[in-house]
Amino acid sequence: MARIPAPVAAVRSAVSRGLADLPAGALVLVACSGGADSLALAAAAHFVLGRRGAAGRVGLVTVDHGLQEGSERRARSVAAWARDAGFDPVRVSAVTVAGLPGGPEAAARTARYQALEAAASDLGAAAVLLGHTRDDQAETVLLALARGAGPRGLSGMPRRRGVFRRPLLDVSRGDTRKACAALGLAPWEDPHNTDPAYARARVRGAALPALVAELGPAVVGNLARTAALVAADNAALDELAAEAHERARSAGGLSAAALAGLPAAIRGRVLHRWARELGAPGGALAYRHVSALDALVTDWHGQGPVFLPAGIAVARRGSDLVRVVAAHIK
């Protein structure tokens, strides 16, 4: 029997581990752009679930963002390959990106995840697989470090969230490419991946290779491992903060005395949670907002209210932090 090339085996075993808990007969969808990562993922999911016989069901969804010349053709050709290869069901989801908030990259991502979630729910899928690799995770961590993101950003992409799973977070991009080559699959090259207009493309093309050249190839895996370690710490601190938040509630808002006794890492999280609860949107709530709230607790000298995004104001009244409306601000 011919030996299975090592990169093919690496991708298959990662997928097999990532799907081990799924019940027999559950439908798994692969989110496939046609790029090397998700093509290798699709081939591996097909193999792994195929071995389960009638108990393994694997479909494929490809999203047409309609942003690039030829995107419809690409989506059709990924779908045609999938049907030939035996994926069932196969769906092309066309989305409208214009009008969604954020830059073009963020808007495309939002539209894509919505379409994938909708496909999972229409088709009754138990999981949607994404092809993010160890290299993608390392890039995410580096970008998060560079913009001063806290532990939430440094946690990188989760292995699972809702219906989504990322079974390739321990597999290198080199291996997904080699797996495609070994299987005779010709991946689509996304021009955005090398377009220097995108920060991620510059990290991929220049920043991370420079770190690897200076510090050695282990940097990529080490950055990805940092994400996993920080994610575990962060989850534990979030849980402690949720409990501390309940204890710090007072009739009017939050008790400054209860907050003052907390470690800074927990206090900051409680203040962040409370600001979200008051209606401040997560994306707009920044470090400086939470720091200003914190100063109402730890550096109280009669300062005025703190203004949060979405027109929310918080002031200290006696020993409490309370939400105030503009008319009551003195």
Ligand X SMILES: Nc1ncnc2c1ncn2[C@@H]1O[C@H](COP(=O)(O)OP(=O)(O)OP(=O)(O)O)[C@@H](O)[C@H]1O
* CB closer to ligand X, 67 vs 240: 67
Instruction: Tell the burial category of 250 from Cβ atoms under 10 Å away from its Cβ (0-12, 13-18, 19+).
Output: middle
* Residue in 80, 76, 15, 84 with CA at minimum distance from that of residue 51: 15
Which stretch in 5-13, 16-24, 27-35, 235-243 sits in contact with ligand X by CB under 6 A? 27-35
Q: Any binding-site annotation on 33?
A: yes
Amino acid occupying residue 140 = T
Strand order in the sheet with 320-324: 253-255, 320-324, 312-317, 306-308
Q: Any binding-site annotation on 86?
A: no
Is position 37 an interface residue for ligand X (rule: CB under 6 A)?
yes
Phi, psi angle pair for 14, to nearest 5°: -65, -40
> What does DSSP assign to residue 280?
-
Is position 62 an interface residue for ligand X (rule: CB under 6 A)?
yes
Is position 63 an interface residue for ligand X (rule: CB under 6 A)?
yes
- Minimum CB separation of residue 265 from ligand X in Å reads 31
- Minimum CB separation of residue 65 from ligand X in Å reads 6
Angstrom distance (rounded) from CA 13 to CA 93: 29
- Minimum CB separation of residue 167 from ligand X in Å reads 10
In sequence order, what are the residues at sequence separation of 6 or more whose Cβ sits closer than 8 angstroms to the Cβ of residue 110? 100, 101, 102
When binding is defined by CB under 6 A, the residue of 38, 172, 234, 255 that contacts ligand X is 38
When binding is defined by CB under 6 A, the residue of 104, 110, 190, 250 that contacts ligand X is 190
Which stretch in 58-66, 96-104, 147-155, 285-293 sits in contact with ligand X by CB under 6 A? 58-66
- Minimum CB separation of residue 33 from ligand X in Å reads 3
User: Which residue has 């699972």 as its token pair?
Assistant: 160
Q: Residues 113 to 142: which contact ligand X by CB under 6 A?
A: 130-132, 136
Strands 253-255 and 320-324: antiparallel
Q: Residues 254 to 283: which contact ligand X by CB under 6 A?
A: none
Angstrom distance (rounded) from CA 282 to CA 272: 9
The answer to whether the beta carbons of residues 272 and 279 sit under 8 Å apart is no
* CB closer to ligand X, 129 vs 231: 129
Binding site residues, ligand X, CB under 6 A: 31-33, 35-38, 61-63, 112, 130-132, 136, 190, 193
Binding site residue list for ATP:
33-38
